[in-house]
Amino acid sequence: MADPISTTFVPTDNLSPNKKPVLTDWRTLVTSIEEFLNGTTTKGVALNVNQFSADSWPSAYAYDNDGAKNYTGFSLFDKQTIVDTYTGGDITIAATGTWTDVDASNASIGFTPVLLAADFRLHFQFNVESVTSNATNETDVRFRLTDSSTNSDAFARVKLVTGVTTTTNTVPVNLSYTFDALAASSKTVKLQYFITTSTASTIKVLANSNDPISMECEKV
């Protein structure tokens, strides 16, 4: 790759060993240094650094002139990620006709975006169990993610009609959504459900050592 900044600085001057420098000579020398740093007509240090910043970080990024790393623990090559699981016990869900938290404390993941507003992708993986009590049964339930202000427009749907008494069905669910421009403050994203129909069925979101609720958050 071509060197984006001149590595060898050769100053331009009119200085002669046979005479004392005059104002014009000094201006020529200082102008050549300024050009190397600012690059108003050719490539320069400042313009290239600003270009790198503009391509790499959001507009809110600011230089603080201390030469120290601003992003503690994270970089362009080491994205912020948070991973959590819950195995504390299966969760029976029963409310119908309204979006309801599966478990606001445990079927949720908390995190704080580092320094700048950014997009974060949330992914939940879990298993849904439906146990029927007679042959006239139906399970129809949807799931979504929410941070209490924005709701995912991607739904996961589980619909079962077995027509058989006392059956158990377990369905794996994967649900992902990207929340845009989350600011640098504490966030909690929760799993919610909406039961359209629950006839002769007991519905659970499994949360045990064999069937954990797995949650992951990643800056994108």
pTM: 0.75
10 vs 137: which has the higher pLDDT: 137
Tell me if 61 is assigned to some domain.
no
Residue-wise pLDDT for 69-78, tens only, equals 777 667 777 7
Specify the CATH number for the domain of residue 87.
Answer: 2.60.120.760
DSSP letters, 61-107, are ----SS-S-SSTT-BTTB--EEEEEE-S--EEE--BSS-EES-TTTS
The residue to which tokens 């507009």 are assigned: 59
The two structure tokens encoding residue 79: 């994205």
On whether both 119 and 204 belong to a single domain, the answer is yes
How many structural domains is the chain composed of?
2
Residue-wise pLDDT for 118-176, tens only, equals 889 999 999 999 999 999 999 999 999 999 999 998 789 999 999 999 999 999 999 99
Q: What is the pLDDT of residue 7?
A: 58
The answer to whether 85 and 213 have CB atoms below 8 angstroms apart is: yes
On whether both 119 and 32 belong to a single domain, the answer is no
The Cα–Cα gap between 2 and 182 comes to 36
Identity at 63, one-letter amino acid code: Y
Q: Which residues pair with 215 in a beta bridge?
A: 84, 124
The Cα–Cα gap between 83 and 216 comes to 4
The Cα–Cα gap between 66 and 61 comes to 14
On whether both 95 and 129 belong to a single domain, the answer is yes
